[in-house]
Amino acid sequence: MGAAYFYHLTERPLEATLPVLLGKALDAGWRVEVRGRDADMLERLDRHLWLGDGFLPHGMSGGEHDAEQPVLLTTTPGGNGATCVMSVDGAEVTAEEVAGMERVCILFNDADVSAVETARSQWRALTEAGAAAQYWAEEGGRWVKKAESGAG
């Protein structure tokens, strides 16, 4: 049974944090789905992942090789047999998904009041449904666990 990890981006932007988390997920042998709500935002992330430091194999959903992508950027669940979902931009995840995945990561930006409120709602919904969850925040360049709920 997996757990939902909430990452409160208080110091570094999504574009700096996501590649680090994706690298760790790939090192763990996980297939990853980066799920967003806005295709334009996912296309910006796609460009950043291709042009950023290091190489992260990935693709945008809608291609003929979606099922083979180790990291798939998408607005719809499924497509590459992911064992880890990284939710960005308030994309929905369910307690059933959390239970069936190695990990679900929910990344949200502190500067966006709406994103913070969405993450709080997601925390409540997931933990009330019995999903294990951890809340992490950046402090001085490090991730610090601030809260935990369930059997995470």
**Count of domains forming the chain:** 1
Residue 84: closest CA among 58, 118, 116: 58
pLDDT (tens digit per residue) in 20-50: 999 999 999 999 999 999 999 999 999 988 8
How confident is the model over 111-128, as pLDDT tens digits?
999 999 999 999 999 999
* Domain range enclosing 92: 3-149
Query: Residue 132: which CATH number?
Result: 3.40.50.10110
Enumerate the H helices of the chain as residue ranges: 14-27, 39-51, 95-100, 113-128
